[in-house]
Amino acid sequence: ELNPRDAQALGIADGARLAVEWDGRTETAEAAVVAGVPAGTALVPRSSGLSLLEPARGRLRPLGSGGVR
């Protein structure tokens, strides 16, 4: 999930396929643009393997052209 302003700045549309990269891992996910997400934050499912005890730094990368503006 992404804040609408962050998604717009990154050129990521709602429903776009993304690569979510952190700690040498890459997972794919579908972007959900949600007004309640704090700016500068991406929320990922617990099943992604990220620690729940502290924030993690990572990178979002659009995959292909579907859903990316």
pLDDT of residue 69: 40
In this model, does residue 65 exceed pLDDT 70? no
Q: Give the tens place of pLDDT for each residue, 3-57.
A: 999 999 989 999 999 988 888 888 888 999 999 999 998 887 766 666 666 677 8
**How far apart, in whole angstroms, are the C-alpha atoms of residue 66 and residue 69?**
8
Buried b / exposed e along 26-54 (16+ C-beta atoms within 10 A): ebebebebeeebeeeebebeeeeebeeee
